[in-house]
Homo-oligomer: A and B are copies of this chain.
Amino acid sequence: MALNDTDVTDAALAILDEYGLADLTMRRLADSLGVRAGALYWHVSNKQTLLAGLVTVILDGLEEPAGPWRAGLAGWADALRSRLLAHRDSADLVATMRAIGMAATDLADGPAACLTGAGLEPERAGLGARTLVHFVIGHVNEEQQRVQLGPLAGEDAPPVPSGAEDFRAGVGLLLDGIAAQFP
């Protein structure tokens, strides 16, 4: 029975979750599908668009921020963090794809629209939105990296409290900064 395109994406996501981004190679993915590496290129044009597809799946169903801007953005940031934490190395993956420019529908668009809707001028809204997205991705990236390094590093781990409360505090700090931008 022949492979279909979603089989490939699903298998790639499984490898990502179990072995991490560094071990997600085309050859390994082919192995897990019982096929030779070259066969993958019938279903996907190259590795980069495959990874972009993973990002789409990971972020699928993330709703735009709604309601009063402050609570809306806080909830949206929480939801984004949850989706990222659900898949190993996803923050790293998303950061890489954003850097390459493949953001498809850019993550910051929703928050930016939320802020302009609340009366902030577009430039400041865009800045606040991008800063928020940076923070979420950066924070989750640290959280996910710590999981990988945790077993290695001894009890002398860096004094980074982290976790959900640290995240919320950081978001609160940012929202305070954004609040100060309003006229």
Contacts and interface: CB of A to CB of B under 8 A. Distances in A.
A160 interface: yes
Nearest to A153: B101
A32 to B, nearest CB: 26
A124 B177 contact: no
Contacts of A161: 123, 126
B174 A126 contact: no
A2 interface: no
A25 interface: no
Interface in A105-132: 106, 123-124, 126-128, 130-131
Given A127-B166, A138-B138, A173-B177, 4 more contacts: A126-B160, A127-B173, A177-B177, A180-B180
Given A92-B99, A135-B131, A126 B180 contact: no
* Complex A-B, nearest 9 residue pairs according to Cβ-Cβ distance, in ascending order: A177-B177, A176-B180, A134-B138, A173-B177, A176-B177, A101-B149, A99-B145, A174-B177, A127-B170
Interface in A122-158: 123-124, 126-128, 130-131, 134-135, 138-139, 141-142, 145, 149, 153, 158
